[in-house]
Structure 1
Amino acid sequence: MDWKQKLKDFYSYDDFIQPQHKIVKDTRKGYDQLVILPTGSGKSICYQLPAIVSSGFSIIISPLKALIKDQIDNLRKRDILVLSFYGDTTKKEKILLATEIYNHQNTHHLIYTTPETIENNMQFREYLDVLEYRNKLDRFVIDEAHCISQWGNNFRPAYLGLQKIRDFYPTVPIMALTATATPPVQDDIVKLLRFSKYKKYTKSYFRKNLDISIIHKSTPIRVHNRNVLNLIIKEDFRDKSGIIYCQTRKKCEKLSLYLNENGLNTLAYHAGLSKKIRTETETSWKSNEVGIIIATIAFGMGIDKSDVRFVIHNDTPFSIESYYQEIGRAGRDNLPSKCILYYSDADRLAGKKLIKYSFTQTLEYKTTKQEVKKHKTNLKRTIKLLDIFEEFCIDTNTCRHQQISTYLGEKNLESCKTSCDNCIKPLRVLKTVNVSNICFEIVSIIHTLQDSAYKTNIAASFKKRCRHTNKYKTQQITTKRFEKCLTYLRLNKFIKERIIKLKGSYGSMCVYKLYEKAKQILKNNISIDIEI
């Protein structure tokens, strides 16, 4: 098989991006494949091209209907025959699929579906049984395979049902694809899909055309919004294609309104909008009628737009995986693109509240002790991912690309040197400062305040002690140093945050509590040094 010629015939590309060629060739060998390639590496070709030239069928399983529609539209623009079978598929298309299968026509070799359809639709399963009996079921392709793992950032319970593929079709190969998978997530994918003899394909996570920077977020919100506007103007983003991510629907709407009032052309996108408006918004953005889309994470998975010049995170993402996937939507044409994150501890805390609220809302549907225990374990895991992302944000020395790649399991990656804020700024020599006294005071205050140990109360009490304690008069105890010590104590499990609901209100507050090992600080048994 001359794969390069087939690539030219169907996609008009002269050559493969590695390791596409090897993946495509290996599909003929009949074993399972785990494909972990960064966004923009052409994962779709790895399964589409083998299916197009085959006499059988490949079943492509995707988590989102919008993603399926996007893929099908792109294939049909290339005059490649493709069908789908899921909730939104027309009756006409379903009849066409049935005709192909029962009349042995085999002209459409790609069938897109959802995990819910695979598990619950008996008619579709009957079609698959017929194809297997005729030896025409080539492979199952599971896109966004990280969704099967509870270790990942985007776990979808419906994906767990895909384990049954091995029960129903034990001899049919599976190709699992994802852009981000830490080693635990990779192990989960292999274990849950019951891969035995399989090949893994990876590529460096480092994308040198993405310029990553983190900016401290200003308060109040009107100041921050003005900063975003000034950034867009300063960086000449006004007439370019970009995405601004916000944590909530309300923030999307408000920021879009503010930017539009100040001369920009933006649209908001979130799950609260009707399907019609979401489709129109997406179409306007893809056709460059609108340059900037302001969205929640409901937008973006699988979006194939090559000329996105910037991705701005208006709020803190919940994990490194989420962040990497979202910035991966920039610069798919390999041209320079900016990835700017606004970070603040208040945003991190707001994110933590959102996570806890979401888990609390779904807890009532857990009926057994085992389900409740698993649910609480998943909550702790999700909070841990947020903590890891915080460490990424507050690290002002280590290469951003290096941090991301190391976290995702890549080894020995050198610093980018020119593609992140930490590498391009002058090297700052950090000095180590002993902060045992400051940490003692913070822990002591939390112990004294008990249920009133809110951050504002701790800060006020600390300032008061500094004014009345001789041992601090020769030290410059800045707000920044206080914050650094508080963060150190939290990340190193001396103190913990607890989100509590306010009585007679829909609001919540964060109160600080002590872990057992904080007693060692109160006894002056621990010396604490941090880099300033």
Structure 2
Amino acid sequence: MVRVFATICAFATAITSAVAHNPSYLYKFDGATAAGVDGSIQVKYAGEDSSTATITANLDFSGVDQAKIAEFDGNCTEAVTSWKWHIHTKWSSTLTSDSFKQCSKAATDNHYDPLKACGPASEYIAEPECKVKSLTYACNPTNYMANPLVCEKGDLSGKLGALNLGQGSTVSVEWTDEHYPLPSETTETWSIVLHAVCGDQTPRIACAVGQKVIEKHEDYYHHNTQSHCVICFSSNENSSYLSLAIMRSLLSRTLLRASLHRAFSTSDEALDVVYRKLLELDDSDAFQVTEAQSTAVNMATLGYSVFLHLPTGAGKSLAFQAPALLTAADQTTLVVSPLIALMHDQVAALKRKGVNAIQVSGGERNKSVPLTQLLSGQRLVYTTPEFLQMNAEMRKWVHAAGKEAKLARIVLDEAHCVLEWGNTFRPSYLQLSQWKSQFFSEVPITLATASVSDEDIARLAELFHLHLLTSVPGDGGGTDKSTRHGQMVLVQQVTDRKNLRMEVVRKTSQAAPWIANRVGKEPTIVYCMTRKEAEDACLALVRAGCDAGVYHGGLPRKRREFVRKQWMMGQLTVICATSAFGMGIDRSDVRFVVHHSIPLSLSAYSQQIGRSGRDGKPSVCVLLYSEADKGRADALTTEGRDFDGTGSGAISNRSSRGEMEEVSAFCEMITGCRKELLYSHFGFRFDTSHCVKNCNCGVPLEAARDFWQEEEIATEHKSNVTKPDEEDGIPRSTIEYQYHKILAESRRLKLPKREALSRRLVRDILETEPASEEEMASMRGIGLAKASRYFRLFRFD
């Protein structure tokens, strides 16, 4: 089983993130080559093709080392009095190159220097006598006709002002530039250069960007690259520009090669093919292939079925879309998805990349065109389980594709819905397993989800009659390919989202004003147990002054889509929804996820809070807890009662009594670490010493203090709900917390429940506080095996 724990490495060159498809670049400084300059510069563009950008600079010059600057440039012998920076980009010698066009967009009065290498009197490349660089610009090539040229944009000393060393100088500025050139895929190098102004001397390049880009991940691979000078930083002729695209390629290929070559002899040519397909689907400058993604792609291309368990935002879609592009040109991958909005977004993104993809579902197509004609030549076909099984044309096409060996793979996106919805209002989901086994038993399948327990993974594998492989096959794919489709490789990754603050707060009758005051104007999702609750919560929030809308399955499709678009575009601040909302929603700046009532499982809770803070910025996940909501949830899970009067579709979660007990323990615990309990639910161990105290562990560490407002820190213990049980003996919440830790450990060890400890035994152990495994083993009903297994999980303070 591929489990990647902790944060997946990121490199600190220009890092791109896409927020609503608007490019954003973050430039950081590497201490080894920054001469003491610290901080970052962020550039956010107004659109994919826009040269209008908002630049935010947060720089600290208090630690600048004059001696280091002198090392960079021997001419810089006087004290540095101020600073400037430029964009530097290199392009090929042709004036029609895309890179040169991008640089040309910078032609403003601010600063435009397409070459600055033609001698002191020349500024422009068009001058025919300009053949050789000026010696004062040693970072430029000796012959611009044979080597790449340099474009500079952005003399920003006016923004920085005169900063004298030794005065603890810092700068925090933000402004908009309408002529800030946008990098493109064919731009060989795109970087920001910081210059030191030394007396009357021409500004010299004083620092650089770049650091180690790959770190060790568990035991799977270990590779370090040396610090790369992404920005030319000295007067040395050999100073190098490293292309951002090349660095991205090095990082991604290293990860890809590490995971593929670990078990297989994969040729570089095959590696390049896989990498290019991944790059076709994600061409942002931040793109990097994680080990989980590369393993999933490789297993799929070898013909195995795959269970893909990756956290929200970790690239699940990429991991099943890329194999679709690696199949024969006449083959199609069928993707079954629960929500039309989710399919629409994914298909639209694929089409922008030039991939033949289509979405077909009831009311979504022009019926004058035969369905078989629409689907012809499509590499990926998205549909719902209902349309797949109930539409005669769709069934005919799928069966024909299967018989002609043109159905490459079936993908179930958001696969947890099979268990959560299949027994209630969407039986077509549960019927998929029978349909697949009966008609397409030899077609491999990929199940993709962000939150599912080990127990449910095993249930799904059994449901689809697949043999679950908890480790990557080490035979180089040598098994008979005709049997690989029946073997499902489990690929898992858990990322510690340290930017998410988890809170559990006592729910009162004034929930709406409290939420409105807490979230302000920040993008927020409010999850509700039922449709009626979502509607009531929305109305109360509107009355409290929020720009709120409601989204649930009982609304007409057009209304749901209208509300979703309003929220995505920022016209609504808060959206009140049932659990279905958010799957596949590509909005990275959600600052608050509020559970208006208790979630019905920790899996659902984990997936829903995962929709906040995907841009890496601090975000808050608040669970409003009350005994009344717990009673409602218990009734829903044990009696199937309908609380909103909207029929069987009112509840969009499957749960069990055991899962509700686990959620209750999570809410009511007053000791221990909530994050530890959450991770153990999925069979992972979490080292609480690494917790940044952003759950209920206590006051946040200094390193995390700037994540949260001081008033939040001051009231943390008040916000963390729960009062201890007032009855004598061990608090019930403590027993529940410890009991579920034991259950999680037994699940991790693949043991039957009888091999865990009962609540009574847990209580006895907490009361007795045995000092050793031997002492615990001597207690009635435990024994040496259970003591050796579980003693370390108890803490007696």
TM-score with structure 1 setting the length: 0.70
Closer, same or farther: CA 147–264 of 1 in aligned 2, 3 Å: closer
Which shifted more, 299-308 or 411-420?
411-420
Structure 2 counterpart of 1:208, one-letter code: K
In the other structure, the counterpart of 1:181 is 452
Hey, what's the Cα distance between the residues in 2 that align with 1:63 and 1:188? 19
In the other structure, the counterpart of 2:503 is 213
In the other structure, the counterpart of 2:407 is 137
* Deviation (angstroms), 1:412: 5.0
Q: Please say if 1:267 is aligned against 2:549.
A: yes
In the other structure, the counterpart of 1:231 is 518
Hey, what's the Cα distance between the residues in 2 that align with 1:39 and 1:121? 31
In the other structure, the counterpart of 2:278 is 7
Hey, what's the Cα distance between the residues in 2 that align with 1:53 and 1:35? 18
Structure 1 counterpart of 2:385, one-letter code: P
In the other structure, the counterpart of 2:417 is 147
* Deviation (angstroms), 1:122: 3.8
Q: Give 3-state SS (helix, strand or coil) of 1:308's partner.
A: coil
In the other structure, the counterpart of 1:25 is 298
In the other structure, the counterpart of 1:301 is 583
Structure 1 counterpart of 2:362, one-letter code: G
* Deviation (angstroms), 1:250: 4.1
Closer, same or farther: CA 80–70 of 1 in aligned 2, 3 Å: same
Q: Give 3-state SS (helix, strand or coil) of 2:382's partner.
A: strand
What is the CA deviation profile of residues 407-439 of structure 1, one whole-angstrom value per residue up to 9, with x for unaligned ones? 111135445521523224389xxxxxxxxxxxx
Q: 2:311 aligns with which of 38, 52, 59?
A: 38
In the other structure, the counterpart of 1:481 is 726
Q: 1:83 aligns with which of 358, 364, 371?
A: 358
CA contact (8 A) 1:153 1:319 kept: no
In the other structure, the counterpart of 1:126 is 396
In the other structure, the counterpart of 2:120 is none
Closer, same or farther: CA 154–487 of 1 in aligned 2, 3 Å: farther
Name the larger-Rg structure.
2
Hey, what's the Cα distance between the residues in 2 that align with 1:305 and 1:33? 27
In the other structure, the counterpart of 2:657 is 383
Hey, what's the Cα distance between the residues in 1 that align with 2:499 and 2:665? 24
Q: Please say if 1:170 is aligned against 2:441.
A: yes
Closer, same or farther: CA 483–298 of 1 in aligned 2, 3 Å: farther
- Of the two structures, which has the highest relative contact order with CA contacts closer than 8 Å and spacing of 6 or more? 1
Structure 2 counterpart of 1:481, one-letter code: E
What is the CA deviation profile of residues 379-399 of structure 1, one whole-angstrom value per residue up to 9, with x for unaligned ones? 9x6222111100011112222
What is the CA deviation profile of residues 422-474 of structure 1, one whole-angstrom value per residue up to 9, with x for unaligned ones? 224389xxxxxxxxxxxxxxxxxxxxxxxxxxxxxxxxxxxxxxxxxxxxxxx
Structure 2 counterpart of 1:48, one-letter code: Q
In the other structure, the counterpart of 2:237 is none
CA contact (8 A) 1:147 1:155 kept: no
- Where in structure 1 are there 5+ consecutive unaligned residues? 233-237, 366-377, 428-477, 493-516, 521-525
Q: Please say if 1:49 is aligned against 2:322.
A: yes
Q: Please say if 1:405 is aligned against 2:679.
A: yes
Higher helix share: 1
* Deviation (angstroms), 1:491: 6.7
Hey, what's the Cα distance between the residues in 2 that align with 1:133 and 1:398? 56
Structure 1 counterpart of 2:522, one-letter code: K
Q: 1:63 aligns with which of 325, 338, 357?
A: 338
Hey, what's the Cα distance between the residues in 1 that align with 2:642 and 2:527? 24
In the other structure, the counterpart of 1:159 is 429
Hey, what's the Cα distance between the residues in 2 that align with 1:479 and 1:92? 62
* Deviation (angstroms), 1:529: 5.3
Closer, same or farther: CA 326–94 of 1 in aligned 2, 3 Å: farther
CA contact (8 A) 2:422 2:429 kept: no
* Deviation (angstroms), 1:347: 1.7
In the other structure, the counterpart of 2:489 is 199
CA contact (8 A) 2:676 2:685 kept: no
Q: Give 3-state SS (helix, strand or coil) of 1:481's partner.
A: coil
Q: 1:312 aligns with which of 576, 594, 606?
A: 594
Closer, same or farther: CA 294–529 of 1 in aligned 2, 3 Å: same
* Deviation (angstroms), 1:205: 5.0
CA contact (8 A) 2:502 2:694 kept: yes
Map 1:285-300; keep pairs closer than 5 Å.
Answer: 285-300=567-582
Hey, what's the Cα distance between the residues in 2 that align with 1:419 and 1:426? 5
Hey, what's the Cα distance between the residues in 2 that align with 1:100 and 1:528? 65
Closer, same or farther: CA 406–242 of 1 in aligned 2, 3 Å: same
What is the CA deviation profile of residues 239-284 of structure 1, one whole-angstrom value per residue up to 9, with x for unaligned ones? 3211112234444344433433444322222334333322211100
What is the CA deviation profile of residues 83-123 of structure 1, one whole-angstrom value per residue up to 9, with x for unaligned ones? 2333233135862x51266xxx62x2100122233334443
* Deviation (angstroms), 1:160: 2.3
Closer, same or farther: CA 393–416 of 1 in aligned 2, 3 Å: farther
Structure 1 counterpart of 2:692, one-letter code: T
In the other structure, the counterpart of 1:112 is 382
Which shifted more, 12-21 or 482-491?
482-491
In the other structure, the counterpart of 1:506 is none
Q: Give 3-state SS (helix, strand or coil) of 1:229's partner.
A: helix
Q: Give 3-state SS (helix, strand or coil) of 2:465's partner.
A: coil
In the other structure, the counterpart of 2:525 is 243
Closer, same or farther: CA 252–174 of 1 in aligned 2, 3 Å: closer
In the other structure, the counterpart of 1:352 is 634
* Deviation (angstroms), 1:317: 1.0
Hey, what's the Cα distance between the residues in 2 that align with 1:93 and 1:411? 55
In the other structure, the counterpart of 1:369 is none
What is the CA deviation profile of residues 114-166 of structure 1, one whole-angstrom value per residue up to 9, with x for unaligned ones? 22333344432321232233322110111122233379999953222222213
What is the CA deviation profile of residues 13-46 of structure 1, one whole-angstrom value per residue up to 9, with x for unaligned ones? 3322331122122221011111111111110011
Instruction: Report the identity percentage.
Output: 31
Q: Give 3-state SS (helix, strand or coil) of 1:225's partner.
A: helix
- Where in structure 2 are there 5+ consecutive unaligned residues? 1-269, 467-485, 648-652, 702-722, 738-757, 769-795
CA contact (8 A) 2:422 2:430 kept: no
* Deviation (angstroms), 1:6: 2.9
Q: Please say if 1:421 is aligned against 2:666.
A: no
What is the CA deviation profile of residues 338-360 of structure 1, one whole-angstrom value per residue up to 9, with x for unaligned ones? 11111122221122234456357
CA contact (8 A) 2:343 2:382 kept: yes
Structure 1 counterpart of 2:339, one-letter code: L
Closer, same or farther: CA 415–343 of 1 in aligned 2, 3 Å: farther
Hey, what's the Cα distance between the residues in 2 that align with 1:88 and 1:255? 31
Hey, what's the Cα distance between the residues in 1 that align with 2:316 and 2:291? 10
CA contact (8 A) 1:146 1:154 kept: no
For the aligned residues, what is the CA RMSD?
Answer: 3.7
* Deviation (angstroms), 1:487: 5.3
Hey, what's the Cα distance between the residues in 1 that align with 2:630 and 2:391? 41
Structure 2 counterpart of 1:342, one-letter code: L
In the other structure, the counterpart of 2:461 is 190
CA contact (8 A) 1:306 1:331 kept: yes
In the other structure, the counterpart of 1:324 is 606
CA contact (8 A) 2:593 2:622 kept: yes
Q: Please say if 1:394 is aligned against 2:668.
A: yes
Hey, what's the Cα distance between the residues in 1 that align with 2:496 and 2:409? 30
Closer, same or farther: CA 165–298 of 1 in aligned 2, 3 Å: closer
CA contact (8 A) 2:418 2:430 kept: yes
Hey, what's the Cα distance between the residues in 2 that align with 1:261 and 1:391? 33
Number of residue pairs aligned between Structure 1 and Structure 2: 424
